[in-house]
Amino acid sequence: MFHSVAAKYDLMNDVLSGGMHRLWKRFTIELSGVRTGNRVLDIAGGTGDLAAKFSKLVGPTGQVVLADINGSMLKVGRDRLLDKGVAGNIEFVQADAEKLPFPDNHFDCVTIAFGLRNVTHKEDAIRSMLRVLKPGGRLLVLEFSSIAAPLRKAYDWYSFNVLPRIGKWVTGDAESYRYLAESIRMHPDQETLKSMMVEAGFDRVTYHNMTSGIVALHRGIKP
């Protein structure tokens, strides 16, 4: 699916969220606690918007790894960051979130934005993220979640009727955005994902609902 939409992925994010995805990601960065010299892993990093911000925060003594399982998305992200001249401390790695190819206790912070719902075995991915974090390191999961009950009917109508039409208009691919709507409904809700992180071994797990729960940001600490 992501091969077909990679070139216009950022444009579609802006169109479908009214630009709100930028605010959601900004809050993620603020809550990450990333600072100079840190080592950051951005999983499902796609076109690199989070990686670009982290690159500036960690500076020349730090490192950012942008990882994505999809080669087309990774190429778009790499080309975009190279064009911006901000890839000096960024490494690009094609990787499966369930089997991360990195050493134990390696990263100060791991992020995954709008990627966990596409992972088949989410529990395996969360445990893999825990493994590569240093003790005291942070995991941040930004993902579509369970919207407030009074808004669900209207949200469902938009998701299954309007969203695929916009996808077809902008990218020529309605099916990928029909899948998006379906995948959001199948993703664990806020409390379920919190429990999954706790069961995997994370400590002090919290979440913040944004835009009435359309999106939630979960944060956990490795003991």
pTM: 0.90
Given a contact cutoff of 8 angstroms between Cβ atoms, the answer to whether 115 and 186 are in contact is no
More confident position, 85 or 135: 135
Given a contact cutoff of 8 angstroms between Cβ atoms, the answer to whether 27 and 113 are in contact is no
What value, to the nearest 5°, has the Cα angle with vertex 198 and ends 196 and 199?
A: 65
Q: Helices 49-58 and 20-32 meet at what angle, rounded to 10?
A: 30
Q: Which residues contact 83 (CB under 8 A, 6 or more apart)?
A: none
Cβ atoms within 10 Å, residue 9: 16
In this predicted model, what pLDDT tens digit does every residue of 145-195 receive, in sequence order? Answer: 999 999 989 988 988 888 778 777 766 766 777 777 788 888 999 999 999
Q: Tokens in use for 126?
A: 């969360």
Residue whose structure tokens are 């991360």: 100
Give the DSSP H/E element, type plus range, for residue 169. helix 163-171
Give mean pLDDT, residues 115-132. Answer: 96
Homologous superfamily of the 2-147+189-221 domain (CATH): Vaccinia Virus protein VP39 (3.40.50.150)
In this predicted model, what pLDDT tens digit does every residue of 77-99 receive, in sequence order? Answer: 899 898 888 878 999 999 999 99
Residue 175: HSE in the Cβ half-sphere, 13 Å Cα cutoff: 4
